[in-house]
Chains A and B, each alone.
Chain A
Amino acid sequence: GENVEQHPSTLSVQEGDSAVIKCTYSDSASNYFPWYKQELGKRPQLIIDIRSNVGEKKDQRIAVTLNKTAKHFSLHITETQPEDSAVYFCAASKGAGNQFYFGTGTSLTVIP
């Protein structure tokens, strides 16, 4: 089955700096890669996703890059703000009807 690894497990950055979280996957058939943000005590919420036919996607301060050859994808947050502090999860899926495989999460702290 698929194995998704996520690094780092914790990350602290100064407000205004950039944060990068990396994930690798093992199954080359995976073709959909969402990222979720989970604030303390709340549900994970989708913040950005990318499909295997695209190498990069950007939404304001958030971007995701995908390297299919190396089987890794990354989340980039620029100009970080304190409200970006949360746990971030990456995931991989092989498409409709298939389960999602989640990384173990990265706890991001943005220091004001």
Chain B
Amino acid sequence: SQTIHQWPATLVQPVGSPLSLECTVEGTSNPNLYWYRQAAGRGLQLLFYSVGIGQISSEVPQNLSASRPQDRQFILSSKKLLLSDSGFYLCAWSGSSQPQHFGDGTRLSIL
């Protein structure tokens, strides 16, 4: 069966520090991969999605970037974090037959 792993579960970072969140999927090949951000008590904001290695679509202009160095690996990065980057970051995957499945998320706090 397919599984999605996301880490770390929680992260506390100072303003201006870099960020790297990693997501990997097992048990499937060529998944569609997504990064979402969720502010407290709010909805899901799509940040990036990828339909293949090296193919990244950005939905919201910001100081974040994403990369897909391998088929089942999706990385969210930032060179300099802002206070507004705080939130719950969720990675998700979907296959050709759908639906979309989420990882356990990373709770990011910026100090």
Asked whether A43 and B105 contact (CB < 8 A) given A32-B99, A96-B98, the answer is: yes
Measured between C-beta atoms, what is the minimum distance from B70 to chain A in Å?
A: 19
Report how many residues on chain B are interfacial, defined by Cβ distance under 8 Å.
24
Q: Are B103 and A43 in contact (CB under 8 A)?
A: yes
Q: Are A89 and B44 in contact (CB under 8 A)?
A: yes
- Does B97 belong to the interface (CB within 8 Å)? yes
- Measured between beta carbons, the chain A residues less than 8 angstroms from B95 are 96
Asked whether A102 and B103 contact (CB < 8 A) given A34-B98, A43-B90, A96-B96, the answer is: no
Asked whether A34 and B99 contact (CB < 8 A) given A43-B104, A44-B90, A99-B49, the answer is: yes
Q: Are B102 and A102 in contact (CB under 8 A)?
A: no
Report how many residues on chain A are interfacial, defined by Cβ distance under 8 Å.
22
Residue of A nearest to B52 (CB): A97
Residues from 88 to 109 in B contacting A, C-beta threshold 8 Å:
90, 94-105, 107
9 extra interface residue pairs, beta carbon distance < 8 Å, beyond A43-B90, A99-B46 = A34-B98, A36-B102, A43-B104, A43-B105, A46-B100, A91-B100, A100-B94, A102-B43, A102-B46
List 18 contacting pairs A-B, 8 Å CB cutoff, sorted by A.
A32-B99, A34-B98, A41-B107, A43-B104, A45-B102, A46-B100, A89-B43, A91-B100, A93-B100, A96-B95, A97-B96, A99-B34, A99-B46, A99-B49, A100-B100, A102-B44, A104-B42, A105-B42
